[in-house]
Structure 1
Amino acid sequence: MELIFIRHGQGEHTLDIPVSLQLNDPSLTQKGVEQARLLRSDLPLSKEDIIIISPIRRTLETALIWSENVPCRKIITPLVSPRMFPILPNATTLPCDKILDINLIKSEYPNVEIDMTSPVELWSEGINTMPESGFIEITKKFISRCREFNKEKIYIVSHDGTINSYRQLISGQTLTRNDFLHDAGWFKISC
């Protein structure tokens, strides 16, 4: 099985760092919208594909723009929500990385599935500051769930730190922040 991790397009929270990291629920910028549209030619989708999406507005916008007019399956899960990389002791989740409320997701994104099999606490706490031991368990569950789809490839729209965290655990390589994907960048890995 091949996992294809896609970083969301440029978000409003990256325009004036560190101040913009304090934004609540930032959207894509116009450049981010264009980057999401370009994914259509870089990674064309079919109705047979599955996209797993982080429950954050910028990832949802990226996935929905990219998959516009393609009736593929779209699943939102906190298993690919923002994750700090590397993990810092006593760190807290920034406002720009707070998970959207399930009821808001249901209201604003009625055509996507919500993964209700994920632990309830992840819908409020996410995986952002989860200790590495807990994240290793999440990774095993996530990969097992992906295998259950019985697909050759699965697309995952997520965040730079989350993608690096999964890549590092799956590949066994040591990664740094220099390995972060650029906006709307993507990386394939077999598992």
Structure 2
Amino acid sequence: MYQEAVQAPLAAVLRAFAVSLAFAVLGMIAGMFVPPALFLPLVAIEIGMLLFAFFLRRKKAISYTFLYTFTFISGITMYPAIYYYLQSMGADLVLLGVGTTFTVFTGLALYATTTKRDLTFLRGMLFAALLALIVISIYNIFVPINSSGMLAFSFIGVLVFSGFVLYDFNRMKQYGMTLDEIPLMALSLYLNFINLLLSILRIFNILSERD
């Protein structure tokens, strides 16, 4: 009975995650037609929604409408980065980055849901590493990091968000979830995937510029 109770919500989380990615793709398409002046306000809205979801985390109370609205806006704000990588290193490498991300994400998810180990002990280390990445990102805005530093930053990003994929999937396996938690878990997986993707694309771009 316990396994059935865990597996049913996990399948629902994966469906919500897949729909979230679809909304993000629609957002990227819409981003082609959004005036540049609107991107900054949309980023502010995106950050506000993310903080709202974070503060509601204990209540586990975000809705599917909130989830899909956020991922659509996220797709719009991500369009300039994807466009830059398409122009900088070409569609082939971008597609390779997407494929690599899907492969890594799937492999980590399979391991986390099949291992007998409880990986939830990673939480504290992962959140500390995430805060460090955020601080470095803010620092980079004012004092740009050179390509070697950014390459190291990107590899650390891959490790951190890979760790979050392991943590989230293993937590679902170990402790299950309620139906109300599904949108929040799907949002967490979406953020892991997108940040993993952007870190991998950044690595590919830096390496391609050195060739």
Q: Highest Rg: 1 or 2?
A: 2
Q: Which has the higher strand share?
A: 1
- The TM-score, its normalising length taken from structure 1, stands at 0.31
Task: Please give the TM-score of this superposition, normalised by the length of structure 2.
Answer: 0.29
Please identify which structure carries the higher helix content. Answer: 2
